[in-house]
A and B are shown apart, each in its own frame.
Chain A
Amino acid sequence: MTADKKAAGSPKRAAEQSEESIRRLKADTKKPVIGYLCCFAPPEIISSAGAIPYRLTGQPGYDTSAADTYLEPYGCTYVRNILARAAEGKFDFLDGLIISHSCDMVQRLYGIWTYNHPLPYSYMFNVPHQVSPWGQRFFKRELGFFRESLEKFTGHQVTPDALKNTIATYNKNRSLIRELYLLRKEPLPLIEGSKMLELLIAGGSLAADDFAVLLKKTLNDAKQKEPPEADEKAPRIMVWGSIMDDPTLYRMIEDAGGKVVTDDTCIGFRVWEKDVPLTNDPYDGLTEHYFINFQCPRTDRGPGISRFDYLLERAREYNVDGVVGYSISFCDPHKFDYPDLRDYLKKEGLPMLLIDDNYSFEPAEAIKTRLQAFIEML
């Protein structure tokens, strides 16, 4: 099945817009573009090293047969999607690639991609699974090795002051994003969930300052406009789960009569919820933000349901009526957490619906029907 056959249309646009945007930025700045996957290797360091960080995105529903030469069919459909497009040269604007060791699948993606299609620069950022004291020390040392490798490639030294400045710039964007999220706490959210996600996806291919301009404009527009037409009683939904780098599911929820008011996904609130602490040694702040605080289920936070407390707090803060879980095929970390999370939320009076998907949002009608039934129930 190819992307052209897809009815949604939007998936293709989201990824392609990002790629068009990054090509323009590269041409304008003459800086090397370094693509990254997952959220452990800080883009602040890439930026401070004189390169452009680019958040790689998949293209849901894309024909992944080009990946078959390198990868098994039983594997993360997102990883297969990325590799298929890499094999077809769709990422030919990349000067470098950084993959952080978030899960087994992306780790192998790194090896197979760089072995078969080497780039001028590549680095696998290693991440412990435990936020133990030694895990934290390892992460901080790894940040240092990462910085060195970037400096060697770009020839641009990353001074602590420059890094602190970059962190401060990125924090301003985090702050603006949180302001935008706050607009969705209202009974009638001033910005739709799908629009918010589109904005965050767009941010992955923009320079931090340009992203700030876009965020401010969106914020001002949202505040000045009348609330979007929506039923005040429409159920308020939180989305939890695997990588969400396309707004199709959010649109489906909205079409089914729900409002996505918050989330716990990558590219979404997981990344923007908190500032990077401005510590004297910037690598301490980065360790705290990108390792200790970053809520990916691949990181072990010990047993017990208290590991989901932050989610419940967020659900209450945003007055959530129900949770839609999204799980990409073969996404072990999320699939393992689902039964525990579902039971925990149920106990707290929050129903949950899980959508299993092969990163295509197809068959769309079946997904929509399930969403409609869930939202009606709410």
Chain B
Amino acid sequence: MAHSEMSRAKRHLETTAKMKEMLPRFFMRMMERMFSNEPLAWCMVGVPPELLKAFDLLFEWPENFGTLCASKLVAPRFIEVAEGDGYSPELCSYVTNTMGYCKLFKETGEAPPESPLPGGMGTPAMLLGSGFICEPRWKWFQSIATRFYDVPVYSSDPLAPPWDIDPHDPRIEAHYLTLLREDLAGQIAFIEKHTGKKLDLDRLKEILALSHEALGYWRDTLALRKAVPTPMGSTDYFHAIIPQMYLVGDQEAVDFYREMYEEVKDRVERGVGIVEEEKYRLIWFGLPPWFNMGIFNYLESLGAVFAYESTYNVGDYFEVDLSDPLEAIVKRTWQRAVKMHEYGAETMPELCNPAVFGGFSGSNLLEELVNDFSLTGAVMHLTRSCRAVSFGEVHTRNRLAKIGVPSLIFESDMADPRHWSDAQIKTRLHAFLETMDKVSKGGAINDR
């Protein structure tokens, strides 16, 4: 399949360019350990990376592997294998990418040549899932362990109250905190059993301190994007989340995010934006099309920049008392859930909020964001295979329209470029920018 319409992202920050050296170093370290047969855990976002670090456990993220396969345009190869096995094209393309990859790996006993990581994702000794974000995650590791790797699975089950339940009610708080605590204890007992290691709470405390320091810089960096012109765009944003998965808890991550903060701050002080003339300041909803991140640069060429992204956002970072590290993990999860309710979260599944990593929180937040980040429009990526993130965008569009902000919803996918229709999408983006021009002159919002 030809993908001549796809373009790689051009990033604007020097700090993110350094990841080209930093991440391969990390992957090399990991591969060396894999070759010495240390147990490897495949994990899902939502599993606290700090916990993995505290166990000194080797880990890989199939979701991230999905984004890599997407960006290298090899995901369709794996997805088609999974579809041939009976997995519906409607299912999450991260999942079908993994299922196709696993099938090929098992058939040949080695990583398929298309794998963007040399040696592929390795062979898991355990699967650590998380039900946070969406439902396919429950079925994903269950299917992998049924069809390909007969290894133990633990899926954590973080629930939070629905949007119309008061999380400040002490009984409700106890109801949910009890589950979060017991579930975390179950997760730790599982890892202890299958690694033969005991969790070192002092080590976890140190890792959490480093993790929070790094994420604090990330939060502060995101806040700097309120500046006009915005000093950092989506291509840097989506790239810079990767160390949060692999390096959180390391000094290397603290240094990376501090440098990024300093660079962005310097750009703000010097009034350096990412485009010459910032005509449209946008908010991005949904997962990005990893196979065509150049679409952000394309919009920049038209004077449109994104100052805020709804996904992978840890702007709602919480200060927690680290003296009890397990309670700290539970409390940050809970505080995020509570904050979500304060903003109204009628269209977000409650599983979407509790974790350190992602999830746009609440539709009442929109007005605050629009004002704080001087936003004039919204672009929403309706991902066909990921309803968890995109189902609710119409509702969000309706809420934005009430405060005079126009939105565009366009359809494609996060990993499967077969759903990208370049001419159609670009035509719609152009038309949307024209709509924004009209709205800025007092026209009505009627774009759908």
* Contact surface of B with A, Cβ cutoff 8 Å: 85-88, 90-92, 95, 131, 134-136, 138-147, 150, 153, 155, 157, 159, 161-165, 171-172, 175, 178-179, 182-183, 186, 345-351, 382, 384, 387-388, 390-395, 398, 409, 411
Given the complex of chains A and B, what is the CA–CA distance between A212 and B143 in angstroms?
Answer: 41
* CB–CB A138/B178 < 8 A: yes
Q: List 14 A-B contacts (CB under 8 A).
A: A69-B398, A101-B162, A108-B392, A111-B347, A128-B179, A130-B155, A132-B182, A135-B179, A300-B138, A335-B91, A336-B91, A336-B139, A336-B142, A340-B147
A111 to B85, CA, bound (A): 35
Q: Which of A70, A71, A110, A138 contacts B162 (CB 8 A)?
A: A110
B134 contacts across to A, CB distance below 8 A: 104
User: Nearest Cβ distance between residue B278 and chain A, in whole angstroms?
Assistant: 30
Contacting residues of chain A (126-181) with chain B, CB-CB under 8 angstroms: 126, 128-130, 132-135, 137-138, 141-142, 145
A137 to B182, CA, bound (A): 10
Known: A300-B138, A339-B85, A339-B86. A107 touches B349 (CB 8 A): yes
Segment at the interface with B among A218-226, A227-235, A268-276, A302-310: A302-310
Q: Contact partner of B138 among A70, A71, A75, A298, CB < 8 A? A: A298
Q: Which residue of B lies closest to A298 (CB)?
A: B135
Residues in B with CB closer than 8 Å to A356 are 88
- Tell me which residues across on chain B come within 8 A of A330, comparing CB atoms: 90, 387
In Å, the complex CA distance between A104 and B393 comes to 14
**Does B162 lie within 8 Å of A145, measured CB to CB?**
no
Q: Enumerate chain B residues within 8 angstroms of A262, measured Cβ to Cβ.
A: none
Known: A300-B142, A333-B135. Contact between A75 and B87, CB under 8 A? no
Compute how far the CA of A266 lies from the CA of B71 in the bound complex, rounded to whole angstroms.
40
* A129 lies within 8 A of B85 (CB): no
0/1 interface trace, chain A 65-101, chain B, CB 8 Å (1 if under)? 0001111101100000000000000000000000001
Whether B183 lies near A74 (C-beta < 8 A) is: no
CB nearest to B185 among chain A residues: A134
A135 neighbours in B (Cβ, 8 Å): 157, 179
> A333, B139: Cβ atoms under 8 Å?
yes
> Cβ of B345: which chain A residues have Cβ within 8 Å of it?
111
Residues in chain A near residue B388, CB distance under 8 A: 104
Q: Are A332 and B347 in contact (CB under 8 A)?
A: no
A145 CA to B286 CA in the complex, in Å?
34
Evaluate contact between B141 and A303: CB separation under 8 angstroms.
yes
**A185 interface residue (CB < 8 Å to B):** no
Max chain A C-beta neighbours (<10 A), residue from B85, B136, B182, B347: B347
Q: How far is the CA of A220 from the CA of B413 in the complex (A)?
A: 55
Tell whether, in the assembled complex, residue B387 and residue A74 are in contact, meaning their CB atoms are under 8 Å apart: yes
Q: Is the CB of B182 within 8 A of A112?
A: no
Q: What residues of chain B lie closer than 8 Å to A304, measured between beta carbons? A: 145-146, 150
Asked if B131 and A129 sit within 8 Å, CB to CB, the answer is yes
For A372, what are the chain B residues with a Cβ–Cβ distance below 8 Å? none
* Residues of chain A with a CB closer than 8 A to B85's CB: 339
Task: Evaluate contact between B88 and A335: CB separation under 8 angstroms.
Answer: yes
In the assembly, what is the distance between CA of A133 and CA of B91, in Å? 30
A329 contact set on B, CB distance < 8 A = 90
A107:B350 contact, CB within 8 angstroms: yes
A141 touches B175 (CB 8 A): yes
Compute how far the CA of A239 lies from the CA of B142 in the bound complex, rounded to whole angstroms. Answer: 23
| Residue among A70, A115, A303, A340 facing the most chain B CB atoms (10 A cut-off) | A303
Closest 7 CB pairs of A and B: A303-B145, A336-B139, A134-B182, A111-B346, A339-B86, A124-B162, A335-B88
A87 CB to nearest B CB, Å:
13
Asked if A332 contacts B135 (CB within 8 A), the reply is: yes
A74-B382, A303-B146 as given contacts; A129 in contact with B182, CB under 8 Å? no
Closest Cβ neighbor of A126 among chain B residues: B159
Other A-B pairs beyond A75-B387, A300-B142, 9, CB < 8 Å:
A69-B394, A107-B349, A114-B164, A130-B131, A133-B182, A300-B131, A332-B136, A338-B88, A339-B143
The B-contacting residues of A in range 100-122, CB under 8 angstroms, are 101, 103-105, 107-108, 110-112, 114-115, 122
Contact assessment for B139 and A134 in the assembled complex, using a CB-CB cutoff below 8 Å: no
Bound Cα distance A329, B165 (Å):
30
